[in-house]
Amino acid sequence: MDIETNTTQHATTLPAPHATTRPAPLRLAVIIGSNREGRFGPVIADWFLSRLAERDDFTVDVVDLATTDLPTTLSHQPAPAVRAALAEVSPKLAAADAFVVLTPEYNHSFPAALKSLIDWHFTEWQAKPVAFVSYGGMSGGLRAVEQLRQVFAEMHAVTVRDTVSFHNAHGHFDETGRHKDPSGPDAAAKKLLDQLSWWAHALRDAKSARPYEA
């Protein structure tokens, strides 16, 4: 007697692909570090902000130290005028996922107004990345940047390796503020922002899983 064996084939059901959720844009605070009369900072800032406008991974707050009056005298009980200035700037720093500091070089260092902004805050900088756009004479502001790296390390911030630096900055821009040969600076800005985005996402994700303790 022949026995017929029936083989039943079961269809394999593949799991439905998961929809990918796009991360929320990073909040970036761009700090214009000079408050000097006749400063060149707004030209650099306009150029850099135009590069940011081409990206969709950042939302931008601008902190302009020409309009932020913080004294060098620190106090646990600041005067009403100082409290008003802090109320304007501190929430932007606290909300930021990352920072870009635009700094000139004054006498081989960075502006006093920038140091005051840093010193009036602490937790606002912690476990966040900081990138630098510098400008100046022969050094392009890089001596200021190297000192700022030490200051921000003390604030428990992480500084991005690559910078954008303008040597003899006035000569790179025309009278309308447009860069005369933008290909090099544009590529440098993209690299800086790509690195900053990576660090900002990594640190934001890490802090959501485990709060940072200084």
* Per-residue pLDDT reduced to its tens digit, 85-139: 999 999 999 999 999 999 999 999 999 999 999 999 999 999 999 999 999 999 9
Which CA distances in Å does 101 have to 64, 95, 152? 10, 16, 11
Helix (H, G, I), strand (E, B) or coil at 136: strand
- Give tens-digit pLDDT for 189-204: 999 999 999 999 999 9
> Percentage of the chain with pLDDT > 70?
91
- Give tens-digit pLDDT for 56-88: 999 999 999 999 989 999 999 999 999 999 999
Q: What sign does the dihedral 62-65-69-72 (CA atoms) show?
A: positive
Which CA distances in Å does 162 have to 148, 195, 197? 14, 8, 13
The residues with which 158 forms a beta bridge, in sequence order, are 129
Helix (H, G, I), strand (E, B) or coil at 146: helix
**Which pTM was predicted?**
0.88
